[in-house]
């Protein structure tokens, strides 16, 4: 299966399973950074979207809600992958939003989330470095990542076998 087909199925599944604010966000589709992360990062390394949840909603300590770009929910860990574009996350941010962003990350860590941040520019310009980090993250937390990684030739074989 190619990325576009897998991505469409991935989004369709999560839209069907969601409701409320999360569903509204998913219906608008993911942003360019999240799509780039999924296509050139995650998909190229792992070839699937198992355990990933886009726009995952978590309750914050003030009884509000926060959305995680991509949550990886695979026991025993909860991983949060945030994709930060320079313009949306830094260049036009005021002091209150800056403080809130730091507070948000601290609260996630206190709630046992492992937070990993990738910049849009790094995903675009240094995709191999991002892929290496993903392999390190999954390998360190879950064991040998090579069992999740398929070479292009192995993917073709698996596509025809399935």
Per-residue pLDDT of 59-101, as tens digits, reads 877 777 889 999 999 999 999 999 988 665 455 677 777 777 7
Q: Are 89 and 101 in contact (CB under 8 A)?
A: yes
Per-residue pLDDT of 44-67, as tens digits, reads 999 999 999 999 999 877 777 889
120 or 61, greater pLDDT:
120
32 or 155, greater pLDDT:
32
**Hey, CA dihedral for 129, 45, 77, 136, is it positive or negative?**
negative
3-17 and 20-27 helices, crossing angle to 10°: 150
Mean pLDDT over each residue of the chain, to the nearest integer: 86
CA triplet 48, 6, 59: central angle to 5 degrees? 70
Q: What is the mean pLDDT of residues 155-160?
A: 61
36 or 148, greater pLDDT:
36
pLDDT at 125 over 90: yes
> What pLDDT shows up at residue 52?
97
Q: State the Cα–Cα distance between residues 141 and 135, nearest whole angstrom.
A: 10
Q: State the Cα–Cα distance between residues 71 and 95, nearest whole angstrom.
A: 27
pLDDT at 40 over 60: yes
């Amino acid at each position: 299966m190619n990325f576009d087909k897998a991505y469409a199925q991935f989004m369709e599944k999560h839209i069907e399973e969601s409701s409320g604010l999360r569903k509204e966000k998913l219906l608008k589709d993911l942003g360019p950074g999240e799509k780039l992360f999924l296509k050139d990062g995650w998909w190229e390394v792992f070839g699937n979207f198992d355990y990933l949840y886009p726009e995952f909603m978590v309750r914050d300590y003030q009884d509000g809600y926060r959305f995680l770009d991509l949550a990886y929910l695979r026991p025993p860990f909860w991983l949060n992958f945030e994709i930060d574009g320079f313009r949306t996350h830094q260049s036009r941010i005021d002091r209150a939003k800056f403080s809130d962003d730091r507070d948000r990350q601290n609260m996630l860590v206190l709630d046992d989330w492992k937070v990993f941040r990738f910049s849009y520019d790094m995903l675009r310009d240094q995709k191999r470095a991002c892929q290496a980090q993903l392999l390190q993250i999954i390998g360190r937390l879950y064991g040998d990542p090579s069992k999740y990684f398929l070479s292009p030739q192995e993917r073709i074989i698996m596509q025809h076998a399935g």
